[in-house]
Amino acid sequence: MQTQDFMLRIVYLNGAFLPLSEAKISVLDRGFTFGDGVYEVIPVFNGNIFRVEDHLNRLASSLAGLNINIGISRDKLKSILVELLRRNPATGNQQLYLQVTRGVTERDHIYEDNVTPTFFAMCKAITKRDFSAGVCVITHEDIRWKYCHIKATALLASVLLKNLAKATANCLEAILIRNGMVTEGASSNVFIVADGIIKTPKKDNNVLPGITRDLMVELLRDSGSLCQETDINEQELQQADEIWITGSTIGVVPVVTLDGKKIGDGKPGRYWHQARELYETYKVNGPHTLQQRDYVV
Ligand code: PDD
């Protein structure tokens, strides 16, 4: 459990470590006025900042997608993350939240190139949730924009979709459909199993290139499973033998009900059990890419 009181947590804002209660930004920050920014959520398992290079690579491509220059080197970024964890000691697993906005300007759609970005980072405990019995999800039209490969902070559509899912039989996720094809969850990627073949939608501008998704494809293929990155239509989703959703803060989660109908026999399937085993083993034995001892600040 996080030892600090919520508002006493130490966060990082624009060059300084300070208590969350003292972290202030201008009301003309474009992240506040336009949602003009990007973010990352990086899990920290047993003190190891998980797949940190993949996450920082994705942050860099999101920033490039919005033409924002963070102005901080990758090494400096890593040392900030390590120092943040050092200042917020915790026993369980944590998640790092990083957000970069274009910065403070007049409220005007047009921005100048020389704006100084706002960089905020914090860490908090990953709520321990047991999904091993499976979860229910709804499907919904993908009402988001067409640059979903950019991890933008403008998440209003995803917020509305997740709350609709929760209001509908307390479901965890909304699996989204665009032009009859599955894209992803409102805050997760999607896998199905059909006739022994594992499938996940290919990466394009309609989905976020999920770190957990990419890791699962790697692990499944290395284990000899047939795993295809391919189109999945709505009917294939409904008739799948198994459906999983993946994400940094949930791992690999079995879906047992879709729009109120059972998937398979309504229990987590054998392919999911294998996938979860691969993921959990990797979390413990995988390359520990960045730990607090790696960076003396
Ligand atoms: N969400 N797709 C979307 C739209 C997401 O928001 C996320 C993650 C994912 C999974 O990506 P990854 O495996 O890299 O976490 C897919 C994060 C956790 C969030 O918004 O909190």
Residue 297: which pLDDT band, with cuts at 50, 70 and 90? Answer: very low
Using CA positions, which residue lies closest to atom 2 of ligand 1?
188
Q: State yes or no: is 151 an active-site residue.
A: yes
Is residue 210 within 6 Å of ligand 1 at its C-beta?
Answer: yes
Is residue 249 within 6 Å of ligand 1 at its C-beta?
Answer: yes
Average pLDDT over residues 124-147: 96
209-218: pLDDT as tens digits: 999 999 999 9
Using CA positions, which residue lies closest to atom 4 of ligand 1?
187
How far, in Å, CA of 282 to CA of 223, rounded?
A: 12
Write down the domain spans for the chain.
3-125, 135-284
Residue 91: which pLDDT band, with cuts at 50, 70 and 90? Answer: confident
Q: Please measure the distance between the N-terminal and C-terminal CA atoms of the chain and give it in whole angstroms.
A: 24
What is the whole-number distance in angstroms between the Cα of residue 210 and the centre of ligand 1? Answer: 6
Is residue 58 within 6 Å of ligand 1 at its C-beta?
Answer: no
Q: Is 181 exposed, middle or buried (0-12, 13-18, 19+ CB in 10 A)?
A: middle
pTM score, whole prediction: 0.95
For residue 66, give both structure tokens. Answer: 């919005």
Instruction: Please tell me the class of the 135-284 domain.
Output: alpha beta
* Phi, psi (degrees; rounded to nearest 5) at 43: -75, 150
How far, in Å, CA of 255 to CA of 238, rounded?
A: 11
What is the whole-number distance in angstroms between the Cα of residue 106 and the centre of ligand 1? Answer: 31
- How do strand 251-258 and strand 135-141 relate by DSSP bridges? parallel
What's the CATH code, domain 3-125?
3.30.470.10
Using CA positions, which residue lies closest to atom 1 of ligand 1?
187
- How do strand 189-194 and strand 197-200 relate by DSSP bridges? antiparallel
98-117: pLDDT as tens digits: 999 999 999 999 999 999 99
Cβ partners under 8 Å of residue 108, min gap 6:
none
13-30: pLDDT as tens digits: 999 999 999 999 999 999
The residue from 151, 202, 203, 283 that is catalytic is 151
156-175: pLDDT as tens digits: 999 999 999 999 989 999 99
> Cα angle at 40 between 222 and 150, to 5 degrees?
85
The pLDDT assigned to 1 comes to: 46
* Substitution candidate for ligand 1 out of 51, 53, 248 with most atoms within 8 A of CB: 248
Residue 287: which pLDDT band, with cuts at 50, 70 and 90? Answer: confident
Q: Is 20 exposed, middle or buried (0-12, 13-18, 19+ CB in 10 A)?
A: middle
